[in-house]
């Protein structure tokens, strides 16, 4: 087997718990990047806070470990500043759906060509087991001792309703499928959202590895261009469908912003247009 | 009555009546005619109605301060005179139609009836009132009508020949009326014209910041609209394509600053524009910039708070917000340009310094500077060389490499062989998360030690006055010209001025001036004397007296003259 350049060879202290689904996601992601023949120097992972946010430290890749919920705005800017980079925004369900919910909605509208990976274990792990926006109703937690009453966020339905350009869900337990979907997501031009179910053995005693196996299935023969059908599928919760729900082609942010319309050189490589500035200055004389 | 050296004209009307249009045309044509011009406005937070006024000061020598005094007042709406009653004296000449004069002023002997509405109606539409009004002023000041005609042709050419011709007619009618007023009235204007001024540039504080940023290589702007900061983004958005600047209005301020920081990480020069309320939302990310050592430039145009306060008024009350924004300890720079020419220069410096020291840098402006215009010579507009501090990385690159120098070389993804790992958690040299005591100490020192170097490059405060002073006035930011002009007027041998264009870190050179003074008086547009407090923190010097104003209005020269005199007399 070919060497995977995204695997960190030096000893690193991984802070994930034994049995955490993040290990499988890490394997799927680094395999996907390797299979895409990408060069680690040209990939940037911008992450939020939480256990998922630590991903850029555990594989060989450029990384920006930002604030809780803020990976998407930062990743959008990274891609826009240098469209030659492959940019991934990564975080957990709290990161992307709670603190960063507004950014996710508007990133869908803006449609930069980035891939958003959401580690969805339906619980807050790093802060020790509080409910997240995707925790199921009546789940008891230390901070919701009488059980969660808020309806879980259906991010797949939300994304399809906003006409996001790539919407998928997968399960960390299926490393090959997850890898395949990540490859598709990165190859897709436009914002790609991949919600990844994964168990939290320490704090989520409801949605266990076994539970996910029993309550999910991969879509087969589904037409990813049929938005209505995709929306219908997104409403199914027993079992939860997995796979690519929906894709569409839309203008991409970094293609349509004025500086890139006729000139493709990444803006970070350009020097200020002194002539034009002079021209503007001169227009202020008359 | 003679109007000499400087004439203060105030135009007042409702929002939507076109006062800004007149301001624009008059400042341009008066300047092209050889006068120095200064314009500043005050307005209400509404789209239509209310009362807004613009002051235009025309002078032989350059005058760049807000004057309380009104020599010529043009009213376009009833209520304007009442709104300005504190500024109207028995010398103020009032131009307006009867219907636009408040009852209390009807028997004022200085009222000159100008039938603007009637003239414009005769031409075909009351819409031409603005052109008639501008024409009257240009007539009074003996400007070249041809210049105005050309301006109107350029402005209205897209709207068709008829509109152009009607405007030319309105201009001429107004202009002739202005000439007639001057001839028939008992006032004379004695202002020297200077032909050289016609080549000068008229800029607003807003435009100066935007152009300075562009010159410094700013190529990424993310913002959420908020008065009075939006103008910089609007200006750059308008030139986005030709200048190669990405300007994106985003979902909220939090996104704006995180994007700007992200843009620097990838090698852009990012800017966010905001005001107090918006900046409050950005504070967390200021801390991210501090910890990750990723630069960011924040244009913070102050207005009164707290909360949404007075959206269209001015203040200097966010110095401490900028100074203490973000949790934890890390260095920052806060510039407070006091002049339009300085706003242009400092905006350039801000990007170089952010890049060099990898820290958040603030351009602390305010509504007064943002909305003020005046003419500038080329010599006054200084260009700062754009510095590039990004390095091409080697294979073994470490983003936070420790050395004697607290500044580690900053690489960016995709430029070189290295991996660039940036982290908002405490990190090791490579950028990986750490809880190692030794590293925590080293990294904290490394970040904070930069302040010593930054301080050495701080812009020294400007000292104006006799070296043998007893009293020292201290001021910062945009009160510069009004304070300076007031002190000139008072001509006191024992009182000097120390003005700060950089309020953090403060140059050590300030200390000797402060320590020498018998009495220090701070002048600020806030309630608590924030610069005074900062000077005490830095140098242990107490303010002996304060001149503070917090009604949302700028200081006028007259007001300051009076207040400084009163404070000094005890």
> What element of type H or E holds B220?
strand B220-223
Within a domain: B178: yes
Q: SS3 for B297?
A: strand
Last-in-domain residue among B380, B411, B445: B380
Last-in-domain residue among B380, B410, B425: B380
Distance, CA of A60 to CA of A230 (rounded, Å): 35
- The count of residues in chain A is 286
B428 close contact with A: CB closer than 8 A: no
Within a domain: A15: no
Task: Please give, rounded to a whole number of angstroms, the shortest distance from the CA of A54 to a CA of chain B.
Answer: 9
Within a domain: B385: no
Distance, CA of B396 to CA of B394 (rounded, Å): 6
- Identify which of A41, A66, A80 has the shortest CB distance to residue B288: A66
Average pLDDT of chain B, as a whole number: 96
- Residue B195: how many CB atoms within 10 A of its CB? 9
A111's tokens: 């449609």
- Identify which of B240, B259, B416 has the shortest CB distance to residue A258: B240
CB B396 within 8 A of CB B409: no
B439 close contact with A: CB closer than 8 A: no
CB B143 within 8 A of CB B30: yes
CATH of the domain at B467: 3.40.50.920
Farthest CA pair distance, chain B: 85
Q: Are residues B188 and B74 in the same domain?
A: yes
Q: Where are the alpha helices (DSSP H) in B372-499?
A: 437-456, 480-490
Last-in-domain residue among B325, B345, B380: B380
Answering whether pTM is above 0.90, one says yes
DSSP B246: E
Tally of structural domains, chain A: 1
B205's tokens: 């504080």
The whole domain housing A211 covers: 21-283
- Rounded to an integer, the average pLDDT of A184-207 is 97
- Identify which of A61, A270, A281 has the shortest CB distance to residue B419: A61
Q: Residue B491: what are its φ and ψ, rounded to 5°? A: 45, 55
Q: SS3 for B514?
A: helix
Tens digits of residue pLDDT in A70-94: 999 999 999 999 999 999 999 999 9
CB B435 within 8 A of CB B428: no
Q: Which residues of B touch A79 (CB under 8 A)?
A: 266
Q: Are residues B20 and B142 in the same domain?
A: yes
A154: which strand partners? Answer: none
Q: Are residues B318 and B211 in the same domain?
A: yes
Distance, CA of B312 to CA of B123 (rounded, Å): 35
Q: Are residues B184 and B227 in the same domain?
A: no
Within a domain: B528: yes
CB A234 within 8 A of CB A169: no
Cβ separation of A41 and B414 shorter than 8 Å?
yes
pLDDT band per the 50, 70, 90 thresholds, residue A112: very high
Q: Are residues B500 and B546 in the same domain?
A: yes
Tens digits of residue pLDDT in B193-202: 999 999 999 9
DSSP assignment of B428-459 equals -SSS-B---HHHHHHHHHHHHHHHHHHHHTPP
Cβ separation of A267 and B246 shorter than 8 Å?
yes
Q: Are residues B109 and B182 in the same domain?
A: yes
Q: Residue A210: what are its φ and ψ, rounded to 5°? A: -65, -40
Within a domain: B280: yes
Tens digits of residue pLDDT in B268-300: 999 999 999 999 999 999 999 999 999 999 999
Q: Are residues B453 and B485 in the same domain?
A: no
Beta-strand pair B2-4/B188-190: parallel
Beta-strand pair B111-113/B188-190: unpaired
Predicted local confidence at residue B16, as pLDDT: 86
Distance, CA of A265 to CA of B275 (rounded, Å): 33
Within a domain: A151: yes
B359's tokens: 């820290």
Q: Which residues of B touch A258 (CB under 8 A)?
A: 240-241, 246-247
B86's tokens: 């504190």
Beta-strand pair B373-376/B462-464: unpaired
Q: Is the pLDDT of residue B17 over 90?
A: no
B106 close contact with A: CB closer than 8 A: no
ipTM value for the complex: 0.98
Q: Which residues of B touch A77 (CB under 8 A)?
A: 220, 222, 258-263, 265-266, 268, 270
Closest CA to A54 of B6, B476, B433: B433
The whole domain housing B332 covers: 202-380
Secondary-structure percent of chain A, ordered helix, strand, coil, rounded to 5? 40, 15, 45
Tally of structural domains, chain B: 4
- Rounded to an integer, the average pLDDT of A52-78 is 98
- Rounded to an integer, the average pLDDT of A177-201 is 98
Closest CA to B368 of B409, B317, B405, B403: B317
CB A252 within 8 A of CB A69: no
Number of H helices and E strands in chain A, helices first, is: 12, 8
Q: Are residues B451 and B509 in the same domain?
A: no
Q: Is the pLDDT of residue B471 over 90?
A: yes
Closest CA to A88 of A97, A77, A75, A101: A75
Q: Residue A220: what are its φ and ψ, rounded to 5°? A: -130, 140
CB pairs under 8 A between A and B: 203
- Residue B267: how many CB atoms within 10 A of its CB? 24
Q: Are residues B350 and B248 in the same domain?
A: yes
Task: Please give, rounded to a whole number of angstroms, the shortest distance from the CA of B357 to a CA of chain A.
Answer: 19
Distance, CA of B106 to CA of B99 (rounded, Å): 10
CATH of the domain at A113: 3.40.50.970
B208's tokens: 């100066």
Within a domain: A6: no
């Amino acid at each position: 087997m070919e060497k995977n350049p995204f695997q960190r060879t030096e000893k690193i202290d991984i802070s994930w718990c034994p049995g955490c689904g993040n290990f499988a996601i890490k394997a799927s992601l680094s395999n996907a990047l390797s299979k895409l023949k990408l060069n680690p120097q040209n990939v940037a992972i911008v992450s939020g806070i939480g256990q998922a946010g630590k991903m850029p430290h555990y594989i060989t890749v450029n990384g920006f470990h930002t604030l809780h919920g803020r990976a998407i705005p930062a990743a959008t800017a990274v891609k826009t500043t240098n469209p030659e980079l492959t940019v991934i925004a990564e975080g957990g369900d709290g990161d992307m759906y709670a603190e960063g919910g507004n950014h996710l909605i508007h990133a869908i509208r803006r449609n930069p060509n980035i891939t958003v990976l959401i580690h969805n274990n339906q619980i807050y792990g790093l802060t020790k087991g509080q409910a997240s926006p995707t925790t199921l109703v009546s789940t008891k937690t230390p901070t919701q001792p009488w059980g969660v009453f808020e309806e879980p966020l259906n991010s797949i339905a939300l994304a399809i309703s906003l006409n996001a350009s790539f919407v998928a869900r997968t399960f960390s337990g299926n490393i090959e499928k997850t890898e395949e979907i990540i490859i598709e997501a990165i190859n897709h031009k436009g914002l790609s959202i991949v919600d990844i179910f994964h168990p939290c053995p320490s704090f989520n005693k409801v949605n266990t590895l076994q539970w996910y196996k029993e309550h999910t299935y991969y879509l087969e023969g589904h037409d990813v261009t049929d938005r209505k059908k995709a929306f219908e599928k997104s409403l199914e919760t027993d079992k939860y469908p997995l796979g690519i729900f929906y894709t569409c082609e839309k203008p991409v942010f970094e293609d349509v912003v004025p500086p890139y319309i006729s000139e493709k050189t990444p803006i970070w490589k350009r020097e200020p247009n002194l002539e034009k500035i002079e021209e503007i200055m001169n227009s202020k004389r008359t | 009555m003679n109007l000499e050296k400087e004439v203060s004209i105030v135009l007042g009307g409702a929002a939507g009546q076109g006062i800004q249009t007149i301001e624009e045309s008059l400042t341009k044509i008066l300047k092209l005619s050889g006068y120095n011009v200064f314009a500043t406005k005050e307005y209400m937070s509404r789209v239509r109605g209310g009362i807004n006024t613009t002051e235009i000061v025309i002078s032989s020598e350059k005058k760049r301060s807000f004057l309380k005094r009104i020599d010529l007042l043009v009213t376009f709406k009833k209520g304007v005179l009442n709104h300005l009653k504190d500024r109207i004296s028995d010398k103020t000449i009032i131009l307006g139609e009867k219907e636009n004069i408040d009852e209390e002023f009807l028997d004022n002997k200085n009222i000159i009836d100008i039938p603007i509405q009637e003239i414009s109606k005769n031409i075909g539409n009351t819409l031409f009132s603005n052109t008639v009004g501008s024409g009257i002023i240009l007539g009074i000041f003996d400007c070249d009508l041809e210049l105005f005609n050309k301006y109107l042709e350029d402005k209205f050419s897209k709207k068709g020949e008829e509109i152009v011709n009607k405007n030319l007619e309105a201009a001429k009618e107004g202009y002739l009326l202005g000439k007639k007023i001057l001839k028939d009235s008992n006032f004379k204007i004695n202002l020297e014209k200077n032909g050289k001024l016609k080549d000068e540039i008229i800029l607003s504080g807003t435009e100066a910041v935007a152009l300075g940023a562009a010159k410094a290589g700013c190529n990424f702007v993310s913002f959420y609209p908020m008065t009075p900061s939006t103008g910089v983004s609007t200006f750059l958005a308008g030139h986005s394509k030709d200048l190669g600047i990405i300007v994106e209005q985003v979902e909220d301020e939090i996104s704006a600053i995180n994007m700007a920081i992200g843009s620097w990480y990838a090698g852009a020069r990012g800017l966010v524009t905001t005001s107090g309320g918006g900046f409050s939302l950005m504070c967390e990310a200021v801390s991210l910039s501090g910890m990750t050592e990723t630069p960011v430039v924040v244009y913070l145009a102050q207005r009164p708070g707290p909360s949404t306060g007075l959206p269209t008024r001015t203040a200097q009350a966010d110095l401490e917000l900028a100074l203490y924004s973000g949790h934890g300890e890390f260095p920052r720079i806060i510039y407070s340009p006091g002049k339009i020419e300085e706003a242009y220069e400092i905006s350039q410096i801000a990007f170089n310094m952010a890049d060099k020291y990898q820290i958040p840098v603030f351009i602390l402006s305010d509504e007064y500077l943002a909305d003020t215009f005046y003419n500038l010579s080329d010599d006054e507009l200084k260009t700062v060389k754009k510095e590039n501090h990004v390095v091409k990385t080697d294979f073994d690159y470490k983003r936070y490499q420790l050395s004697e120098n607290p500044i580690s070389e900053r690489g960016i993804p995709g430029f070189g062989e290295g991996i660039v790992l940036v982290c908002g958690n405490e990190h090791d040299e490579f950028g990986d998360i750490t809880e190692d005591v030794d590293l925590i100490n080293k990294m904290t020192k490394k970040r904070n030690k930069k302040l010593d170097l930054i301080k050495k490059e701080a812009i020294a405060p400007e000292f104006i006055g006799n070296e043998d002073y007893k009293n020292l006035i201290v001021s910062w930011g945009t009160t510069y010209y009004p304070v300076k002009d007031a002190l000139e007027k008072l001509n006191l041998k024992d009182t000097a001025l120390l003005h700060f264009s950089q309020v953090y870190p403060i140059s050590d050179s300030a200390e000797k001036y402060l320590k020498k003074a018998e009495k220090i008086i701070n002048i600020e547009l806030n309630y608590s004397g924030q610069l005074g407090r900062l000077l005490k923190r830095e140098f242990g010097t107490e303010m002996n007296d304060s001149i503070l104003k917090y009604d949302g209005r700028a200081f006028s020269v007259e007001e300051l003259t009076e207040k400084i005199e009163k404070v000094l007399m005890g």
